[in-house]
Every structure is written in structure tokens, then in C-alpha cells.
Structure 1
Amino acid sequence: MRRLVSITLLFVCTVTMSLASASTLIDNVRGYTLNDKGELIRFKRILINHGKVISLDPSSVPNKATVINAQNAVMMPGLIDAHGHLLGLGGNLLEVDLRDSKSMSQAAQWVADYALAHMDQDWIKGRGWNQELWSDRAFPTAKALDKVIANKPVWLSRVDGHAAWVNTKALRLAGITRDTKDPAGGQIIRDAQGNPTGVLIDNAMDLVARVMPTESTKQYQAQLNAAGEHLLSVGITAMHDAGVGHHVYDFYLARAAAQTLPVRIYAMLSATDPQLDDMLDTGRIRSADDFLSIRSVKAYGDGALGSRGAALLKPYSDAPHQHGLLLTQPDDFPKIFQKVLGAGFQLNFHAIGDKANRMVLDEFEKTFATVGGQSLRNRVEHAQVIDVNDLPRFAQLKVLPSMQPTHATSDKNMAEARIGKARMAGAYAWKTLVDSGIAMPLGSDFPVELANPFYGLHAAVTRQDRNNQPLKGWYPEQALSVQQAFKGFTLDAAYAAHMEDTLGTLTPGKWADFILVDQDIFSIAPQDIWKTKVMQTWLAGEKVFDANRQN
């Protein structure tokens, strides 16, 4: 059945693509794009036909071409987020958002307010809490939730998605007691008496997740609509969806066949999905209109730094008894690498700590020597803390570091405390990696971070948060130039998805995916890049967002 769906997808997209067929000239722009060599070029007008770029600054224009005066607006390619969670973003937009909570009690009250306004929901769900931003920096508790909502189960993901805060009702439904053992790659946070406190780290989250109701196609569609609308409004025309299971896989195939995907999706199959083998057997998928491409697998090495789940070679500086967690056990590494690379799929491995990064690089090196697959543009997702001796290995092995600049500016208040100053030499090392000659796709990891790509461009260039702190930048020697950061969100992101033939630049023959913005990021003060507003977003030569038409 799945083979039939994918074949139908390709046939429908080939026969019924809805593209702008008449020539359109967008005139009077301050245009920027990279060429295929990564060189920055400028242009003043762009000719489009059948949804693709015909030429930049054409010497002649068809008589019947529609001419649009952009009134000197800045134009650049639609930006590509190389690591996000599309339906997770949609869910985050539709659920209780705790990102700005200042304390556990405030977060709990927000949950109670949300529950009161959504009495039809059987489970109350939300995301975004971060104990590092609270005055006591302590993990929250089920008791705090029980005081405000005890009759319904509550599930609240930490901002990084690597921990969950639940109430007692949820613990009871999952059967979690003081006698429940920590699963491999997970931890149940306990009090001094050994009782669960209500926080579950990494694989321990599955204990509750497995008793939660599965999401329906209707919910997926609502999440897709919400996420797509938001991404287009901030200038993202394509994204890499980091880890989808077979239900979402089928949903995306159906939406692509119906031509109702709002942005271009490069979907990574989840390595933990029970139907991974079936999806691999179906083979690679790339729709003729390039709205859906599936040819990669996302695997999971360790947890996150904020929850002390990132796997480290030496103990945490602020918790000497902890080394982090491995979500995939070492004995399982060879099987995953051989299966995915042997199937001709790109393997994108989540690794944050220096131990996880080394293990992943070691396994790539071993697998390349036996199975092959080095040409698949395999990736390490996040690559946050790397032993300095391992930094050159990315270029040597041709493994792409897929990084998220705003992680650094969000982590700056706790990263050095977690790993100590010495290990910071290989942490968030963007310039070192770029200078080694490897492509570096950039993204945000939304909804862990905000999706706005101009926040990421700003963080990459300034190494500052949006309050311009710290004044000289956080480890500023690792900052990127504006052009390098721009390349990460355009050409390098397209290359990391094997799609640089049609995406990533506004050069002839590629899709006319572009944005018009209110300021020139190449000439303004770097600290103002994050303030850039998107005026219009175009996909395949059609306007899909206009700020002037929004309520």
C-alpha cells in the first residue's frame, strides 16, 4: 500500500503541478543570492516562469510578462531551516506555551488557566519550561501541578524536548512508582525517599508517552496549518523535519499528493519507529514539485545539555557523578549505521556531548570502510560539544555538522557551568568547522528555539542574545560572517538535503522561492539583524504570505 501511495504521489505531482505559468518580472529589488560556488551576487530584477528562475537582471523580457515593482525592497532566497520539528511547532502553537514562565508556580498557573479554557481536552499538554531561567534553577514537581490540576493528566515537555514534567495523575496512569526502574537511556527524577518527583528525562519520557492518546490525522492537519502559516511569515520556505514516524510519513505522502504542504519538507525517518524497515524498503521519495523529499534517517545518540542528558567523556563540572545518557546503546550503533547506509539513506545522528559526537564519528568511520555510504552527506545533528581533537574529523569524514546558532545564545548562561571552561574550546565551534572546509547547514531546532531564522542569523554573526549580551559576544572567536551564516541557511542547507540542484539560491533553473524583507542584512549593524521583518514570501513564483494582508 505504501509503495502505491508514493508512486501516486510522484504521478500526481508530475501531472497536476499548480505553478505560475506566465512569465513574471520582479523589478526594482535589492537582490542578494549566492551562486552555486557560494559567492554572493547582487541583482536588481528577476524573471520567473513556470515557478522557476529564468534569469537575473535579464537583458530582455517577454512582451506578455507581468511586471511587479518591488519598490526597492530587499530580496533574498527563501530561508531553509535545516533542523526543526514541523508538527511539534504546530502543536506548540496550539498548546500551552511555558517558554516565558519565570517560576514553577507561574508555569503551573498558566497550565491551570489553559486547562480551564480547554475543558474538552482529556490530556493537558504544553512545552517550553526551562528551570535554568527560574530563580532556584530547580526541576519542577508533580506536587506543584497537583495543586492546580489533579483530575486530568498533564504532560509538559521541557524547552529542549528531552525532559517532561507531569502531574501525579499522569504518573499513576503510566504505573510509575518508587519501584519503577530507570529505563536504559532515561532517568526518573526522585526525591530523597526515592519517590518520583514528576520529571522524566529522555527515554523515561516513554513511560508516560505510551499511555497518551495517539494523535489523529485531524490533529496533524491543524498542526501543519499552524506551523506552515508561522514559518512562511518569518521567511522559511523549506525545512528539514528531524524525526518522523510512520503515521506522519503517511500523512506527508497524502498531503504531498494533494498538494497541500505549506512549505517544502525534507523529512528524516525516525530510527526508533517500528516500521523503519518498511519505510526504507519503499525507497527514496522526492516529489516532482520538490515539496516533499524523504531519503534520510534521524537517529538518537544522547540527550541535551540543559537536562544533563548530553553524553560526556568526563563528568559534568556541576554534577561530578553524572556523565549524561546514551539514548542508543553502543551495541546498537553498528546495526543502525549498516542498515541505514546500506539502504542508501543519509544518516543524521543526534549528538550533543563530546562522548556522543566521538562515538558517532567513530561509527561513521568504521561503516564507511565496510558498507560505504560516505557520499550520502551524512550529518551530526547539533554537534554542540566536541573534543578539539575531533573537530577536524568532520571534514575528513565528510560528515556535515548540522547546527543551530540560537542554541549557543540560549545555553550561554549554563553551558560553561555544565562542562567547564576547558571543554568550551570545542563547543559551539562554528567558525572552526566552517574553516575546516565542510558545509554547515544551519537551523533552529524549533520549537525548542523560536523559528525566526533572522534570530539564528543574528546569533551566528554576533554570538549575542537579542539584548546584545554579552557585549563582545559569547566566545566571539567562533562567530560567522554574515555571508557564512546566510550560506548556512540557504545553499548549505539545500546541499545537506541533496537538493542544491533546485533550492538554496536564486540562480537560473531553480525554484523561485524568495522573500522580500524590510532591511539589508548585509549592510546594517549586525546587532540589528534579528529585527528584520518579512514583507512577502513567495514559493515557486507564487506569493504565499503578505504582511500587509495579515490581521
Structure 2
Amino acid sequence: MRLRQIPLQCSMFLAAFGAAAAACATTVIDNANGYTLNNKGDLVQFASFAFDDNGRLIAVGSGAEVAAKAPGARHVDMKGRTVLPGLIDAHGHVFGLGGVLTQLDLSATTSLAKALKAIGDYARANPKHAWLLGRGWNQENWKLGRFPTAAELDGVVGERPVWLQRVDGHAGWANSRALAAAGITRDTLDPVGGKIMRDANGNPTGVLVDAAKELVNKVVPQQTEAEARNVLDQALAQLARVGLTSVHDAGIGVAEDKLYRDYADHGKLTVRVYGMIGGTGADFDQLSKDGPLKSYANDIYALRAVKLYSDGALGSRGAALIAPYSDEPSSHGLLFQSDAQIDAMMTKAMKKGYQVNVHAIGDAGNRQVLNVYQKELGPTGSSAQRHRIEHAQVVALEDIPRFKSLGIIPSMQPTHATSDKNMAEQRVGSERIKGAYAWRTFLHQGSRIACGSDFPVESPNPFFGIHAAVTRQDAHGQPIAGWYPEQEMSLKEALRCFTLDAAYAGHQENALGSLEPGKWADFIVIDRDLFKMPAYDIHQTGVLETWVAGRQVYKKK
């Protein structure tokens, strides 16, 4: 039986949906092979569950138990298929994902030559685009041993500006037209927290790292509202397809907030969004006038966090390290702000009641942020705001216990480890790698890890993340024994970090993260039993249906 789509809360949409409102009734899902964690973290199996016309769960258990609590309900037969709670990505970039889906995507290219061919093909297919924009290149995957250059881009597209974001979003590759449009010459100074890559003569090569990217970003034509809506539509559809019912959007501004609220008001927001305001500047001042938005439109949207940056990324050597890079002894990477500057930004957000989530990848970046938390948690009285460090990727071993003692949530992305394994140890060496991607070390001390993907840096598919967390292997099963397998998670722990603990990291554990009475009926139907299959096949799991608050938002055709 296939159900029609039901509005997120039937009573709110009677006029808007007319006949669809007649479908509003208590619904029982029967004959499911269901798994959920409860709020204690125990794995619970169930065969049936019921939710009311507002999308709230009434009962979960055996068929008889649920039927007794939902007399007169309509029934949907799952025919033994596996049901899980809706999965949560605790760190992604929704509009960035939509941009990748609507622009040039270079993430699958395995060589510079193939990337240049793709760029040339894209240029010919889009002759009316004033700028050619894209993302996803990775010189490490190309085995290039260096960054690409503007001259190489000029060889395929010389008449229009080209601007391509690196896979991690922390570097950009421009052709000469784009450099000229931004006014970048050999005399242009590196901005604070950024670097213009240069040749032996001091001339810009075409790659801009971290804050230097803004020199080009500010001259790229602004997106129209129609384009922004298309980008959001594309992203929401993709997120539903991979089984995500909630995402934490790591860095939004006034325009994105306005669009989210509009989509929520009109029942078009098919994935829950926990928003983080990007920075503490003008957008924060405007968006924070009334304080944190804890819930909007039945928990479909929230805006109660702030996203800040301490440093750059490991792949572009922008992550700030305490000691120099092992493969580039002349560089420590980049801290984006002085200690005093980031302290001021974090404190400003804390005092306004916001959760503060700071991007920190290198051990120096993580230490800088931990130092501020240690200094300011008491004076701001903000310990209950569940502050986070986003990525916590390379952490000095002596700093890991500080996450637990300070109550800081490590928000980590399992696929970063399996994507970075081809270069991470080269960057930091055999000693510092012991504190890198150290999930087991964090779990052992009692930290609750909020898992995500950092899409579009990585695929938003949460089963890729669960697979990486459990096996420490890439999609090709490499390395066979797992990369530093002593840091792997159990399957239950991996499911927890994409459900309960991700919900906890957004102050939403009482509404999301498990299938229990009183919570929202956010669930997915998948094509295999996650707990009765080889771990190495987890990444092949397919999503058949995705439901948010009792509304089916995706069904595989």
C-alpha cells in the first residue's frame, strides 16, 4: 500500500490541501523489521508503530501492542522491510549541496587531464553562463603533487572567468579572467587567515586558500532568489533520497533563513534544518535580535547556534598545527583569528544564548578553541548551551580529555577519515596521527559524538558514514584491516552518532533521534537488514522510503 503525501500537521493545512486533509488519521505501520535505540541507548526491535495525524508517535512495539493503542487506525503493511529512525547529519551545507547539484562537479575526476576535459565540456554546454562555477577538485586524488594553475584552466576556458572550489571548500582554483576580475596581482597582499599561492617569481598561480578566496567570491555574480530556490529544491530532494530527515546547516545568513522560514510556512521543507548562523557579524546581529529560535513550525526549523572558524583544512595545508607540517616544514597552517579575536566572537554568541560551534581541524586550532571555552564558559554561564567543535580532526592527545571535562561535543565526520587516509599521515606524521579521527578515544572517555558528513565536501549519504565509522575502510574495502582500526565504532555506536547523539547536539533529543512515543514519526525504510549483513557492505544500503512527521517525502521508484 502506498500512502499519499500528508502535510506535516494536518490541522494546520486543511484549507491549503483540501481533499488531502481527509487522509489525516492515526496510522499504524505493521510487519516492520524495525530497529531503534531508546533514549538510554539500548537497541530495541519492533514490528509495529503508530503515529497520530500530527505526525507524533503514539506507540511502538509488537503488532498486538500497537493495535490496542490505536483502534480504528489505518494500517500500512511494511512486508518485513527494515525500518530505522530517520538519520541526522550533524554537519552539512544545504545550499552548498544544492550548488554542487546545479554546477560543475569535479569530485569524480581522477586526474588533472580528466578534470580539464570536464571543465571544457561544461563550458561548451553552458555558453550563456557569464562565470563558470563548480566544486569538488582534489589534487591529492589526481596524484599531482602540487596545486593546479590558472594557466592550465586558461588552456580550456580563457574567455570567461572560471572559479572552482576545492572539495573541502577551503581553497579555490581560478583562471586568469577570474583573477583579473578580482584585481589579484603579484602586489596583492595575503589577507589575514588566507594565502594566495604564488610561483617562484611571486605571481599568483590561480589557487587561493581560505580567507583569500573571498577576493574572488565577492566579485562572483550574486545568486537570484529563483536560483536559490532551485538550489534548495535540489538539495532537499537529494537529502530525502539518502534517508536524512534532519540536518544541521553549518553556516547560514539572512537570505537562507528567510527561505527556510518560507519553505516551512508552506510545507515545503521536507528535511528538518537545525541552523547555525555564519559568524557574529551583520547577519548575526540581525538574526539574533529576538534571541535563539529554538523551534519553528513543529520542529521543522531551528536557529539556535553560531558557526565560527578557527583554521583551514588539512588537504590544502590550511589547518593550524602546533608543530610544522611533516610534509612541508616551512608551514604551520593558518589560524583565522588571533586568540583575542576568536574569544570576542565566541563570547558575543555565548552571551546572546547561542550554542557556539567552531570549525577546528588542526591541533593548534582545536587548542585555541578549547582554551576559549575553558576561559569563558564560567563567566558567560553558557555550559548548558552544549557548545561544539566541528571536525575535531587532529587533536593533541593531551587535549582530548578537555572535551569531556569542559562538556564540549566533538562533531565529527567519519568519511573524512577514509577520504583523508591517502594524505593525513603525510601531513602530520606518525605521532600526531594518534590523535586524529580518534573516535574510539573520544567514546572511551564518555564523549557523545555527533556524526555528519560535511556535505558537499563528502557525500550526504549517511550509510557511507556508518560504513566508514564501523570499518575504517573506503568504498573499495581499503585498507583490508581498516585504517587505524583501533579507532573504529561498533554498529550500534555508529547508528547512535547519526541519531540520538546528533539530536542531542541540537538540543532535540526529546523530539528526534529514536522511534519512541511522543517523538516525531521520522523514519526510513531500507532495502536490507543493517544488523544482519557484512559490515563491508553497509555503504551499499539503499533507501526505499523517507518519512518526516508521518509524511512520506520520498519513495524510490
- 1:193-217 deviation digits (Å, cap 9, x = unpaired): 1100100000000001111111121
Greater shift after overlay, 314-323 or 519-528?
Answer: 519-528
- The amino acid of 1:105's aligned partner reads A
Written as runs of structure 1 = structure 2, the 5 A alignment for 1:7-18 is: 15-16=12-13
How many angstroms apart in 2 are the aligned matches of 1:183 and 1:329? 14
Contact 1:13 1:288 in 2 (8 A): no
Partner of 2:199: 191
Partner of 1:313: 322
Local SS of the residue matching 2:529 = coil
Contact 2:264 2:297 in 1 (8 A): no
- 1:102-134 deviation digits (Å, cap 9, x = unpaired): 222321221121111112211100000000011
Taking only aligned residues, the RMSD between alpha carbons, in angstroms, comes to 1.5
Establish whether residue 520 from structure 1 lines up as the match of residue 524 from structure 2: no
* Structure 1 residues 248 and 59: alpha-carbon distance in aligned structure 2, compared to 1, 3 A threshold: closer
- The amino acid of 1:264's aligned partner reads R
- The amino acid of 2:555's aligned partner reads D
Local SS of the residue matching 1:133 = coil
Partner of 1:54: 58
Establish whether residue 338 from structure 1 lines up as the match of residue 340 from structure 2: no
- 1:352-395 deviation digits (Å, cap 9, x = unpaired): 00000011011001001211201101000000000000111111
**TM-score, length-normalised on structure 1?**
0.95
Local SS of the residue matching 2:275 = strand
Local SS of the residue matching 1:392 = helix
Establish whether residue 540 from structure 1 lines up as the match of residue 549 from structure 2: yes
- The amino acid of 1:35's aligned partner reads N
Establish whether residue 41 from structure 1 lines up as the match of residue 44 from structure 2: yes
How many angstroms apart in 1 are the aligned matches of 2:473 and 2:237? 28
- 1:167-204 deviation digits (Å, cap 9, x = unpaired): 00000010000000100000000011110010000000
Establish whether residue 463 from structure 1 lines up as the match of residue 435 from structure 2: no
Partner of 1:495: 504
Establish whether residue 396 from structure 1 lines up as the match of residue 405 from structure 2: yes
- The amino acid of 2:357's aligned partner reads N
Written as runs of structure 1 = structure 2, the 5 A alignment for 1:3-402 is: 15-16=12-13, 21-50=24-53, 51-57=55-61, 58=66, 60=68, 62-271=70-279, 273-285=281-293, 286-402=295-411
Contact 2:322 2:364 in 1 (8 A): yes
Local SS of the residue matching 1:349 = strand
Contact 2:394 2:435 in 1 (8 A): yes
* Structure 1 residues 68 and 15: alpha-carbon distance in aligned structure 2, compared to 1, 3 A threshold: closer
**Alpha-carbon distance, 1:260 to partner:** 1.6
- The amino acid of 1:259's aligned partner reads G
**TM-score, length-normalised on structure 2?**
0.94
Partner of 2:427: 418
- 1:329-368 deviation digits (Å, cap 9, x = unpaired): 3220221121101000000000000000011011001001
Q: Report how many residues are paired.
A: 537
**Alpha-carbon distance, 1:14 to partner:** 8.8
Greater shift after overlay, 377-386 or 280-289?
Answer: 280-289
Contact 1:225 1:262 in 2 (8 A): no
**Alpha-carbon distance, 1:15 to partner:** 4.5
Contact 2:270 2:548 in 1 (8 A): no
Contact 2:310 2:342 in 1 (8 A): no
Contact 1:163 1:201 in 2 (8 A): yes
How many angstroms apart in 2 are the aligned matches of 1:264 and 1:62? 27
Partner of 1:409: 418
- 1:420-451 deviation digits (Å, cap 9, x = unpaired): 00001111010111121121110000000011
* Percent of residue pairs bearing the same amino acid type: 49
Local SS of the residue matching 1:369 = helix
Contact 2:265 2:297 in 1 (8 A): no
**Alpha-carbon distance, 1:39 to partner:** 1.1
- The amino acid of 1:424's aligned partner reads I
**Alpha-carbon distance, 1:61 to partner:** 5.0
* Structure 1 unaligned spans of 5+: 1-11
Contact 1:266 1:292 in 2 (8 A): yes
How many angstroms apart in 2 are the aligned matches of 1:236 and 1:265? 11
- The amino acid of 2:434's aligned partner reads A
Greater shift after overlay, 450-459 or 98-107?
Answer: 98-107
Contact 1:104 1:144 in 2 (8 A): no
- 1:78-116 deviation digits (Å, cap 9, x = unpaired): 100000000100110111110111222321221121111
How many angstroms apart in 2 are the aligned matches of 1:328 and 1:22? 54
Partner of 1:7: none
* Structure 1 residues 532 and 54: alpha-carbon distance in aligned structure 2, compared to 1, 3 A threshold: same
How many angstroms apart in 2 are the aligned matches of 1:227 and 1:150? 31
**Alpha-carbon distance, 1:13 to partner:** 11
How many angstroms apart in 1 are the aligned matches of 2:326 and 2:386? 34
Local SS of the residue matching 1:126 = strand
Greater shift after overlay, 156-165 or 120-129?
Answer: 120-129
How many angstroms apart in 2 are the aligned matches of 1:64 and 1:119? 59
Contact 2:50 2:70 in 1 (8 A): no
Contact 1:13 1:287 in 2 (8 A): no
Contact 1:317 1:418 in 2 (8 A): yes
* Structure 1 residues 14 and 244: alpha-carbon distance in aligned structure 2, compared to 1, 3 A threshold: farther
How many angstroms apart in 2 are the aligned matches of 1:289 and 1:149? 48
How many angstroms apart in 2 are the aligned matches of 1:40 and 1:311? 39
How many angstroms apart in 2 are the aligned matches of 1:466 and 1:312? 29
